[in-house]
Structure 1
Amino acid sequence: MSGGITVVDTGFGDRPAFCAAYLLVESGRAAFIDCGTLHSVPNMLAALDAAGLPRKAVDYVIASHVHLDHAGGAGALLRELPAAQLVVHPRGAPHLVDPEKLIASARQVYGDALFEQAYGGLVPAPVERVIEAADGQVLDLGGRPLLLAHTPGHALHHLSVWDERSRAWFTGDVFGISYREFDVGGRPFAIPTTSPVQFDPVQMKDSIRRLLAVQPDTCYVTHFGGIRGDVQRVGLRLIEQVDAMVALAQFLADAPDRHEALKQALTKLYVDRARIHGVAEPERRVPELLAMDIELNAQGLAVWLERERKKAREAEAG
């Protein structure tokens, strides 16, 4: 634990150091930021045990957003933490109180067997234990202020957490993904995550600029861990990549097999970026380590394209 912050591997995905949650401890009080899936609850409790804290010491479970790899285990975790409140964006709160729509959507996408294997189901969060986070709201964790900021772009129900004590943001997915396997000489490599269904490039770039404006020392991303020392450069490169990805999507909007064409174009973009960064064997390692992210990014860009086309048609008709 450094500065009261512990990185917890939630165990989600098919490799270690893929999906993180965070345990913050101050003056004997604790908060989790994100919590993984139902299967991740033992990992969260083990982190608490390792910190020498009882379960009643946890005041907050903060969900950066309600995608299941971040908050699918929130309701089940609350059952184990008698004093904790669930903190979530107002747009996301209804889906954790009544998760039936989230469950139905995930089952439709993944099928019943894969859904159970990956996520294990969702337990509803008691409405009386939910705090709907206002933009700029400050939580008190044992005298340590945690500021909640609405940061859309990846999702409309996304929030980030500013910890002044460590000069760090906990950014969920809005500050991209940055696997430690791509670090070169201590310098992190990151790509945006534009997964469906609410990616918005303007909002994402604005949110990244908001995070950079306070000159953070660290951005703790969910996938995976802390981006340190090079935060401004990483953020500016993320903004550049958002523009590049949007340009690719627009160029390929009418391609015969748009999804496959987008995946190939995104792969080339990330390989080229990784090579410039100094990553060894980028032609092999980027498709290998980013396969799921490339698939989801292509899906998200396609959803955004169709939404933009619908807006254009409505503007012409109106």
Structure 2
Amino acid sequence: MSFHVYEDLGHGITRIDTAMVREELAACYLMRGGEDYAIIETGTHHTVPIILDLLDQRGIDRARVRYVIPTHVHLDHAGGVGGLMEALPDATLLVHPRGARHMIDPSKLVAGATAVYGEAAFKKMYGEILPVPEARVRTMNDGDEIDLDGRRLVFLDTPGHAKHHFCVHDPASGGVFTGDTFGLSYPPLTTEKGPFILPTTTPVQFDPPALKHSIARLLALNPERMYLTHYGPVETPRPLGERLRGMVDDYVDLAERVAADHGGEDLEPALRNALRDYLFRRAREHGCEQDDERLDAILGMDVKLNSQGLAVWLEARKAA
């Protein structure tokens, strides 16, 4: 498919590429309900002008954007929250109860990510992370709803990827905005068999039983489609969800096998190699014809992050 920064998906929803790292890596969404709007996910601080440019192109008064809704506070989803809220004076931030304090005071998020990436790389990837005044923050518990000028949105607590994660059910589109709960599916890996989908186990709160339960809970809504942050809408979710649940089990088995053979400093590189081999094999079984170099370009970041998350999960389980 040809790449577009903005793509109208029908049902009053526009997909916006966040321009993080590469095209078709991360998306956020503009939703219309009546005369009002919501933005679901924000990308990084670098994404803010891209979102504002879309509003300007379409003549949308910024005061009509009523809600900014990150599914969780990982910075590829919520790094742009503070900057966007500054630019949208009448918006309320809707956030998971466990994530609200990190949006009000993002210093711990920034410190943690800076420790991982280094200050220069952090700034390049995420930009400035701005706080949000507490008075403009509203926490959304499981089952809470909002009315976007006649469009009902329902919030579902969906731990497993992160404890501070919710998904947003949109009955009007028959869809769910799934953040990272329903995995990742990059367009270049879609084949005649459909999307190539995989779970994400980014550090530090991977919980396999909780994630499988959250996926099952989303499928129980009988949705027609899922709006993924990584990347874009996928149709006919049920078989994708069942595949995801099976792959979560595969990740656990793989991690346990690798841990039995490796320890200490060798664990994470061994996990990375094993996960890469597993995902490349599954991709080729799915009909993906890219060579190893191209698959590394598409999946390499996720292989690294997922292996780190599996290593953290193994250590946490050992300590429990």
Normalising by structure 2, we get a TM-score of 0.94
Equivalenced residue count is 309
Contact 1:10–1:40 (CA<8 Å) still a contact in 2?
yes
The runs of at least 4 aligned residues of structure 1 exceeding 6 Å deviation read none
Partner of 1:253: 259
* Structure 1 counterpart of 2:272: 263
Alignment gaps of 5+ in structure 1: 312-318
Cα pair 2:159 2:214 within 8 Å, conserved: yes
For each residue in 1:85-127, what CA deviation from the matched residue of structure 2 results, as whole angstroms up to 9, or x when unmatched? Answer: 0000000000010111111111111111111111112110010
**Superposed CA RMSD:** 1.2
Letter in 2 for 1:55: R
Are 1:19 and 2:31 matched, yes or no?
no
Confirm or deny that 1:42 pairs with 2:49. yes
Instruction: Give me the whole-angstrom Cα distance separating, in 1, the residues matched to 2:201 and 2:213.
Output: 15
Inter-partner Cα distance in structure 1 for 2:57 and 2:158:
32
Counterpart-to-counterpart distance in 2, 1:136 and 1:186: 34
Equivalence map 1:182-261=2 (5 Å): 182-185=189-192, 187-229=194-236, 231-254=237-260, 255-256=262-263, 257-261=266-270
Letter in 2 for 1:269: Y
Aligned to 2:311: 302
Structure 1 position 50, deviation (Å): 3.2
Q: Distance in 2 between matches of 1:305 and 1:66?
A: 23
Are residue 60 (structure 1) and residue 67 (structure 2) matched?
A: yes
The answer to whether the 8 Å contact 2:258/2:270 transfers is yes
Aligned to 1:5: 13
Deviation at 1:186, TM superposition (A): 7.0
Quote the Cα distance in structure 1 between the aligned partners of 2:59 and 2:281.
45
CA deviation map 1:5-39 (0-9, x unaligned): 000011111x1111100000121100000101111
Amino acid of the structure 2 residue aligned with 1:266: L
User: Aligned AA for 1:140?
Assistant: D
CA contact (8 A) 2:40 2:71 kept: yes
Partner in structure 2 of residue 102 of structure 1:
109
Task: State how 1:274-285 maps to structure 2 within 5 Å.
Answer: 274-281=283-290, 283-285=292-294
Residue in 2 aligned with 1:315?
Answer: none
Q: Matches of 1:289 and 1:78 in 2, distance apart? A: 31
Q: Shift of residue 241 of structure 1? A: 0.5
Q: Is the 8 A contact 1:24 1:30 kept in 2?
A: yes
Task: Specify the alignment match of 2:5 in structure 1.
Answer: none
- Secondary structure of 2:259 counterpart: coil
Partner residue of 1:173 out of 147, 168, 180: 180
* 2:193–2:286 Cα contact (<8 Å) kept: no
Pairing of 1:102-141 with structure 2 (within 5 A): 102-141=109-148
Where structure 2 has 5 or more consecutive residues not aligned to the other structure, the ranges are 1-7
Shift of 1:83: 1.0
